[in-house]
Amino acid sequence: MRRIRIALGSEDGINISPTHLGMAEKFHIYDLWENGDYRFIEKRVNRSPQERKHADPEKRKAVTEILKDCDLFVGRRLSPNFVKLRDNTRFQPVVTEIDTISDFMEELRNFFPHLSDLVKRRKEGEKPKEIPKISKPLKLNHIYGPVPSRRLGFSLGVDLVPYKTCSFDCVYCQLGRTTDKTVERKEWMPTGEVLSQIKEAIDSKGRIDYLTFSGSGEPTLHSRIGWLIREVKKITDIPVAVLTNGSLLFKEDLREELMAADLVVPSLDAATQKSLERVNRPHSSLNIGEIIQGILQFSREFKGRIWLEIMLVKGINDVEEEIEKMVKIVRKMQPDKVHLNTVVRPPSEEFAHPLSISDLERIKASFGQRCEIIAGFKGEREEAYVQDIEGDILELVQRRPVTLSDISHSLGLHQNEVIKYLQVLEEKGKVEAHRFEGRRYYKPGMG
């Protein structure tokens, strides 16, 4: 069983010293195991010399000698010596805002897989840049839902990138325009924190039919999505879905990372570069040939289910020639399902208009029996599942016109979740959306 040895400063064995680790009079040593058990090992006197200057290297060297059998160094402050430990040694620094040792160790258990991975990487010679910060209470700011979905039942959303960080800037996006258009894959959100929040949500959220990596940007931009999927599969039988715009599947390492998922839902809204640029407005480095090849290659390698989503915008990517090319791609790809969608929620751009149901039915016939229409026209949507939230939204709207962001911040809900409720309330006529100076505001309806 995997184990991590932890060093923290404490004068009384109850509270963690509020000073830098190296300034504590005594070090308390704990072992934390993979199953969550932890045990106090011993207390060591800090015999390191007084600092002669700030971030004294002699002081750091003496402390690391005293704690040379430990893996994690825990402090209440992010000191210059912690940064030097991170960059130059095998020791993994951790910062905490928690006062007591017992509360800290209880919270630390949630982070074991990620911390163990960091320790392992350091022992192998790597120098990860992350210095985890452990705090409590832990807000589930990377998790939203479960959100009722026609396709996925009750889906617990996992958000891995900052709001509107994406490789596309789609004209139909319900969350508005992309603010950070990028193809850079990196650890946008702290991986250990995300995993801890997933665990907490699984324990407290009731019915969850899918754990869905999607959110407010492109989830595959997170460089450790594969590690997260594998760790999630170790702790739950809930199937894992990844909703992606498919733009980065030409990258071999990403395709490999997604192999642990149960379901991947890539999008393909264009078959030509012209349509790609009109409907998806991609990062300048992306081209349609590479994107299509990546999706095709993934479909050959992936052992789970693939549902291909095609979002059609009136007068942009619904012309006959474009559809014919998409049909040929889909035949090569052979996904388990093809989902036809169109603009049914307020889009990023006012010129993005939906296709009629009759147009969708006509196009559906071209794709064959595996194709279905998923566009949520009036009367074909899920009921909101928490009436109190509907009431809270109505209360906000009745005070003054509010944006999606206003509602999200006021109620502490993810914007993807708020959108579901707004759609229901709009269909009931209880709220109306209006544009003013390029922003969408919601106010009371006539219903």
Domain residue ranges of the chain, discontinuous segments joined by +: 3-134, 143-373, 387-444
pLDDT-based confidence at residue 140 (cuts at 50, 70, 90) = low
Q: What pLDDT does 440 receive?
A: 77
The rounded mean pLDDT for the chain is: 88
Q: Which two tokens stand for residue 22?
A: 């190296």
Sheet containing strand 240-244, edge to edge, reads: 143-149, 153-159, 210-214, 240-244, 263-266, 305-312, 337-342, 371-373
Q: What is the pLDDT of residue 280?
A: 97
pLDDT, position 408: 75
Nearest to 311 by CA among 156, 189, 172: 172
Average pLDDT over residues 30-47: 91
Cα torsion 276, 282, 284, 286 to 10°: value is -70
In this prediction the pTM is 0.66
- pLDDT digit string (tens) for 210-219? 999 998 899 9
Task: List C-alpha distances in Å: 419 to 25, 281, 287.
Answer: 53, 23, 31
CATH domain 143-373 topology = TIM Barrel (3.20.20)
State percent of the chain over pLDDT 90: 55
Residue 381: pLDDT band by 50, 70, 90 thresholds?
very low
Strand-pairing partners, residue 96, are 134
> Domain 387-444 has what CATH class?
mainly alpha
Segment 295-307 shows an average pLDDT of 97
What is the rounded distance in angstroms from the CA atom of residue 120 to the CA atom of residue 77?
24
User: What tokens does 41 get?
Assistant: 């090992």
| pLDDT of the residue at 393 | 85
Helices (H), 151-190: none
Closest C-alpha among 331, 337, 373, 333 to residue 356: 373
Region 413-419: what's the mean pLDDT?
77
Among the CATH numbers 3.30.420.130, 2.30.30.30, 3.40.640.10, 3.30.2230.10, which is that of 3-134? 3.30.420.130
